[in-house]
Each structure stands twice: as C-alpha cells, then as structure tokens.
Structure 1
Amino acid sequence: MALEIKNLTKQYNKHKTGLSNYSITIDRGILGLLGPNGAGKSTLMKIIATISKPTTGTLFLDGEDIVKNPDNIRKILGYLPQDFGVYPNLNAYEFLEYIAALKGVGGPDLRKRIDMLLDGVNLTADAKRPIGTYSGGMKQRIGIAQALLNDPKVLIFDEPTVGLDPEERVRFRQLISDLANDCIIILSSHIVSDIEAIADEVAIMQNGTLLEKGTQPDIVKLVEGKVFETILDSQQLNDLKARHLVIDTSRQKDQTRARYITRDHQPEAGSIAVNATLEDAYLFLTHTKA
C-alpha cells in the first residue's frame, strides 16, 4: 500500500497558499509530520482525508485517484482532526456506536471492538459517563478510539497527543506502533519526542513546502558535526546568537549552558561537540532551508 502525492497545491485566495507544489510518497508504516504552525500539515491531512480538495495536483492510493474517487480511501480511513468535537450528552459507548453507524460499522462484534478500544485508550472506567464531563485529555482519547473503529488501513492523526499527560502519550504511541505493520499512519505533532519515539520516516514542512523526508537517521545526519555546547555569560550569549543558531539554553548559577548549531562548521572556542538529535535537525531545517 502506498499513497503517492504529486505537485499538490492548495490556494485559498491570492494572498494565502496552504500547499505549494507538494510531492511525497507515503508507504506503509508511520510517517511523522513536523513543522511550525502554518506549515501546511493540517491542510495536507484534510486533503488526504478527502475533506478538502486540492487546487491542483494528484493523489493516488495504490494507483486509484482519490480526488476523483474519494470513496476509495474513505471506507478504509481513520481520521482524528485537530478540532475534533464530541456530543457532550452521550457517554463513550453511545458516542462510539453512533460513529460506527456513520461509518457503516456494525455486526455482533461491534461491542467487543468498542470495549477493546476503550481499554486501549484507558477509558473503560469512565465509559458510562457523559463525554461532556470528560477532561480535555479524555476527550482526545475518545477521539483516538473513534478513528480506530473501522479497523482502518489509512490512519491520520492531527496533533493527537495534545492534552494527554506523559503516561497517556506513551500508551498512545504503543497503540499506534502495534498497527504500523498493516497501515499507512500519518502523525502530525509539534512535540518532536512523540515523532522521534515511533515514526519510521519523518517529513519536515514549512510554508506549504516539503523541506526533507527520510528515515530519522537520514534526517539527523544533516546536522551531524554541526551541534555544539558551550558555557558562557549573558553578553557572550548575545554574541553567540548573532553568529549561530542557538537551539537551547539552561541557567547554571551566573552562567548559561547553550546548545547551538554552527552554520559554517566553525564552533566557538571552548565548545564541545554533542550528538545531534531529530529536534536539532528540525530546528536547523526550518530556520535555514525554507
């Protein structure tokens, strides 16, 4: 299974472009989408989910045009949008049964599947409470469950870990990892550690364009040998920011430890080289390549 996207453009008006000549091939497994606000991640996901149509460009799922024939993907699609809404007066069982009816999912095993999903998102104990009484994180978890109802082969999650505590984020990552061998999973997040923990490949976006796509080691390789740490005072820190991309700082009494990426491979005197991370590569690309 593969999703092929070629020369995709989404023009909202003459002043606003969501995507610009965007091309990417997405294979089975987990693709992590990284990019700042306004990068085009949600626009891309809505087009793949057939909620929005591109201005120009093509999308093919296993050779089938899903712009012309959206039902080819809708019947195997699970989608959690960033602005997911619920019916507050329904409890979790009622809500998931309603969503199942909308998706055409039924049969004698439906209740068993709902029980399994509620257990997977840790909502079994609260399943009979009205969803309107749920916390933001609990509502997000019911959104994850509804996306999985129809045993989808294409899964799209737009910022799925927003509102989840660290333990719930780990549970979500484990749940998604178990599905990765059989599905195309597209996961957008501004939390780099979530992408780092589970993504087979990473696509970094900015201003509606694709900056880089590859495995995590391939992406990290772009900044290998460019990441350093040094300890300095406040005036030196200002000078460092003028010459290099400072990506993190931490106070140490009256001094500051700074992690930075050098653009010309010439580190400051007294700096030590450190191992590059996905976050380093992401910040480097979004600050220097677009």
Structure 2
Amino acid sequence: MELEIKNLTKQYNKGKIGLADFSVSIGKGILGLLGPNGAGKSTLLKIIASISKPTGGTIFVNGENIIKNPNAIRKILGYLPQDFGVYPNLNAYEFLTYMAALKGIGGHGLKKRIEILLDGVNLTADAKRPIGSYSGGMKQRVGIAQALLNDPKVLIFDEPTVGLDPEERVRFRQLISEMANNAIVILSSHIVSDIETIADEVAIMKNGMLIDKGSPAAITKKMEGKVFETSIPHAELDGFRSKHLVTDMSKQPDHINLRYISDTSHGNANIKGVNPGLEDAYLYLTQKQY
C-alpha cells in the first residue's frame, strides 16, 4: 500500500494558495502532519479524501489516479474531518449503524463490529444515550469510531484529539497504533506530543509547502547543539525574546527559566545545552524569522 502525492497545488484565488507544488510518498504506518494554522494541512487531507479537487497535481493509491477516479480511495478510506458533525437525537449505536449504511457496510458482522469499536473508544456504557447529551470529547470519540467502520486501508484524522482529556488521548493513540501495521494513517494535529509518541514519520508544513519530512528522531537530531536553557531577570525578558526563539519558560519570584533555540553556542556558565525535542524542531522550522 502506497500513497504517492505529486506536485499538488490548490489555488483558492489570486492571493490565496492552499498548497504549492506539494509532493510526498506515504507508506504503511503513521504519518504525523504538523504545521501552524493556514499551513495547508486540512486542504491536503480534504484533497486526499476526494472532498476537494486540486488546481494541479496528482495523487496515486497503488498506482490508481484518485483525482480522476475518486472511488479508488473512497472504498478504502476512513476519514475524521476537523468539523465532524453528528445527529444529536441518535444514540451512538444508531448513528454508527446509519453511517455504516451510507458506506455500504452491512451483514451479520456489523453489530459485532460496532460493539468492538464502541468498546475501543470507551463508549459502551453510553452507547444508548442521545449523542446530543455527549461532551465534546465523547462526540469526537464517536467520530473516531465511524472512521474505522469499514476497516479502512487509508485513515485520515484531522485534529482527532481536540476535546479529548489526557486519558482519552492515550487510548486514541493506542487504538491507532494497533491499526497502523496494515494501513496508511495520516494524523494532523497541533499537539506535537501526540505526533511525537506514535508517528513513524513526520511531515512539517508551512505556507502550503513541505519543509521537512522524516522520522521524529531524524528531525529532532538536526537540532542538536541548538537548544539551550538559562535563567534571566524578569526585566530582560523582552530583550531576550527579540534575539532568540523561546520555546518554553517558567516564571519564578526573582527570575525566569527559559528554554530557547540559537544557532550559536554559548560559553556562559549560566547557559547549558539540552537535548532537543520534536517541538523544538517544529518551532524552529516554522518560525518565519528563523
């Protein structure tokens, strides 16, 4: 199974470009998609899911051009959009049964499939309650379940952990990790830790372009020797931030502890180099001034 994206472009109008000559190859496993708002993540995912058409470029799934033949992706696709909506008067079991009918899924195994999915997203106890009474996180879990109904070979999740508490996020990551052995999973998130813990590869986007792709470890390694920690008086913070990319800070009564990125090493005893993380690399690559 392989997804090949070649020179994908999406132009909304003369002044707005969603994607600019975007190319990437995606195999089985989990690809984490990172980028700031407006980077083109949702645009890319909608085109892969055949919901939106590109201005130019092609996408192939196992050699089949899905721009010309969208059914080639639709029959093997599971998709959770960022703005997923539900029918509030239906309970979770009724909603999943309805979604299964829309996807052409039926047969004697459907009831069992829905029960397994509801258990997987921890909704068995609430499956008979109207979805309208659910919290935001519970509705998101229903959305995750519907994306998995057809045992998809290509799974697309656009900001799937929004509204989930820490325990639910861990459960989601475990569920997706189990599926990634036999499917292509594309996971878009602004929560870098969600990507770092489960992604086999990471693609970082900016202004509709791919600016880096590789394993989390490989991308993070590029930041070695660039990440430091120090402490400064409160009064020096604005001046320090004008010269350095600060990635974290902790205010104390008489000083501020800072984690920051710099291309220049330091000999100051108050400054120490630290091991970089994926978030350091992400911020470094997507900040315009760096």
Q: TM-score, normalised by structure 1?
A: 0.98
Q: Distance in 2 between matches of 1:162 and 1:42?
A: 14
- Who is 1:93 aligned against? 93
Contact 1:8–1:57 at 8 Å: present in 2 too?
yes
Moved runs in structure 1, 4+ residues, more than 6 A?
none
- Who is 2:231 aligned against? 231
More deviation, 172-181/265-274: 265-274
- Who is 1:40 aligned against? 40
Note the 1:1-290 alignment, pairs <5 A: 1-266=1-266, 270-288=270-288
Which amino acid in the other structure matches residue 170 of structure 2? V
Secondary structure of 1:178's match? helix
Q: Distance in 1 between matches of 2:252 and 2:28?
A: 45
Aligned residues, how many? 290
Secondary structure of 2:286's match? helix
Cα pair distance change 1:289/1:100, threshold 3 Å: farther
Q: Distance in 1 between matches of 2:89 and 2:268?
A: 60
Q: Distance in 2 between matches of 1:264 and 1:204?
A: 24
Unaligned runs of 5+ in 1: none
Q: Deviations over 1:103-157 (max 9, x none)?
A: 0111101000000000000000010111111111000000000000000000000
Secondary structure of 1:265's match? coil
Displacement of 1:289 in angstroms is: 7.8
Q: Distance in 1 between matches of 2:35 and 2:148?
A: 25
Q: Distance in 2 between matches of 1:103 and 1:129?
A: 23
Q: Distance in 1 between matches of 2:14 and 2:288?
A: 26
Displacement of 1:238 in angstroms is: 2.4
Contact 1:244–1:261 at 8 Å: present in 2 too?
yes
Q: Deviations over 1:44-88 (max 9, x none)?
A: 000000000000001011111000011111000000000000011
Which amino acid in the other structure matches residue 41 of structure 2? K
Report percent identity of matched pairs: 71
Q: Distance in 2 between matches of 1:45 and 1:54?
A: 11
Which amino acid in the other structure matches residue 135 of structure 1? S
Displacement of 1:246 in angstroms is: 1.1
Displacement of 1:197 in angstroms is: 1.0
Q: Distance in 2 between matches of 1:270 and 1:250?
A: 16
Contact 1:211–1:289 at 8 Å: present in 2 too?
no
Secondary structure of 2:287's match? helix
Unaligned runs of 5+ in 2: none
Q: Distance in 1 between matches of 2:238 and 2:162?
A: 33
Which amino acid in the other structure matches residue 237 of structure 2? L
More deviation, 267-276/69-78: 267-276
Q: Deviations over 1:232-256 (max 9, x none)?
A: 1123322321222111110122100
Q: Distance in 1 between matches of 2:245 and 2:60?
A: 39
Displacement of 1:263 in angstroms is: 2.5
Contact 1:31–1:199 at 8 Å: present in 2 too?
yes
Contact 1:228–1:267 at 8 Å: present in 2 too?
no
Contact 1:228–1:272 at 8 Å: present in 2 too?
yes
Displacement of 1:221 in angstroms is: 1.3
